Amino acid sequence: MLVILSPDCSVAEVAAVEASITAMGYTPLAVPGENRTAICVTGNKGPVDAGPLRGLPGVVDCIRVTKPYKLVSREVHPADTVITVGRTQIGGDATPVMIAGPCSVETEARTLRIAEAVKAAGATMFRAGAFKPRTSPYDFQGLGVEALHTLRQVREQFELPIVSEIVDASHLEQMIDTVDVLQVGARNMQNFALLQRLADQPRPVLLKRGAAATLTEWLMAAEYLLAGGKRDVILCERGIRSFSDHSRNTLDLNVVPVVRQMSHLPILVDPSHGTGRRERVRAMARAGIAAGAQGLLVEAHFDPASSYTDAAQTVSDEVLKGISADLGVLAGLGSIE
Ligand code: PEP
Ligand code: MN
């Protein structure tokens, strides 16, 4: 249930509504909005009886929320969420963002060279993993703390905000000063302890879809972040597991317009993990933006074949330039109604 208060309601009226919701055994959560004051009732197992709330001073409406996710839904928050990171805006009608970089942070010299190349190709944010979640314990696990030092150099020299994956809540303290957007990877989408910890820190969170997650499971994972107080959440479709064996994952572009309809959160597409093959990345990047994605996450390198990880799906900075040009063309299509 969403309780709508009049725009000029008093602080005392808001507090009285919250107290009534608490007295009913539920938890009130304020929903920020430009044109209204609203409080979402959470913690209910079945329908909420609006009777005791309707008559309270300041209350103008009580709206039933039909979806299991509340704070991420458009029912509760009709306007698009737009997230500002440095000079870049993500979401709403902002120009689609291109976030690019190598799968893993490499040596400092190589990483700086990649950063220079992706910036010249049009990327406005740099992504690279310091801590890598690898299928095999024998595979390269990322350079860890040394990589964070390198990412700080990238941020300083190229003025690119940094996106990097957090695999364990215990790394937060080390990462928070270096990383502008914390990525939660597909494998951790339902690591609820990690999500709860990330809800209570200042950085935006980029939440990738789990390889076997339904739309509802994904949005419920995002709900953990919003319920914990985090407003700046970016979704990213990166492909799901299907019976297809012609690509690493099946990029589920169907989900993009559905997410745009169901949720106010920005959605990006990752055509790199979504295909696993560099020669298909540009086509699926175009398709993702055409489907309504508000940006891309692309693995790119000045010498893709030598990438420490995910080499087969990493594109050159030349290809990235092409993707950047495509973004300009597709942005001209305008929003999809
Ligand atoms: C990555 O972004 O390099 C990564 C590991 O992605 P995912 O979590 O989507 O597999
Ligand atoms: Mn990767």
Alpha-carbon distance of 153 to 155, in angstroms, equals 5
Helix (H) or strand (E) holding 66: none
Report whether residue 288 contacts ligand 1, using a CB cutoff of 6 Å. no
**Domain map of the chain by residue range?**
2-63, 83-332
Atom of ligand 1 nearest to the CA of 309: 3
CB-facing half-sphere around the CA of 229: CA atoms within 13 A: 8
Strand 37-42 versus strand 2-5 pairing type: antiparallel
Report whether residue 103 contacts ligand 1, using a CB cutoff of 6 Å. yes
Does the pLDDT value for residue 187 go beyond 70?
yes
From the CB of residue 38, how many other CB atoms can be counted at a distance below 10 Å? 18
Atom of ligand 1 nearest to the CA of 209: 9
Does the pLDDT value for residue 150 go beyond 80?
yes
Instruction: Please provide residue 287's backbone torsions phi and psi, each rounded to the nearest 5 degrees.
Output: -65, -40
Atom of ligand 1 nearest to the CA of 238: 9
Q: How confident is the model at residue 308 (pLDDT cuts 50, 70, 90)?
A: very high
- Measured from the alpha carbon of residue 312, the closest ligand is 2
pLDDT tens-digit map of 73-95: 999 999 999 999 999 999 999 99
What is the reported pLDDT for 47? 87
What is the reported pLDDT for 43? 87
- Measured from the alpha carbon of residue 297, the closest ligand is 1
The label of the residue with tokens 């009777």 reads 51
- What topology is assigned to 83-332 in CATH? TIM Barrel (3.20.20)
From the CB of residue 117, how many other CB atoms can be counted at a distance below 10 Å? 21
Identify the burial level of 331 via C-beta atoms within 10 angstroms of its C-beta, where 0-12 means exposed, 13-18 middle and 19 or more buried: middle
Among the ranges given (17-31, 98-112, 194-208, 259-273), the one the predictor scored with the smallest mean pLDDT: 17-31
Q: How confident is the model at residue 337 (pLDDT cuts 50, 70, 90)?
A: low
What is the reported pLDDT for 144? 96
Average pLDDT, the chain: 95
Specify the pTM: 0.94
Report whether residue 185 contacts ligand 1, using a CB cutoff of 6 Å. yes
Q: How confident is the model at residue 66 (pLDDT cuts 50, 70, 90)?
A: confident
Does the pLDDT value for residue 31 go beyond 90?
no
CA angle 308, 160, 268 (to 5 degrees): 75
Which CATH architecture is the domain 2-63 placed in? Answer: 2-Layer Sandwich (3.30)
Alpha-carbon distance of 74 to 65, in angstroms, equals 10
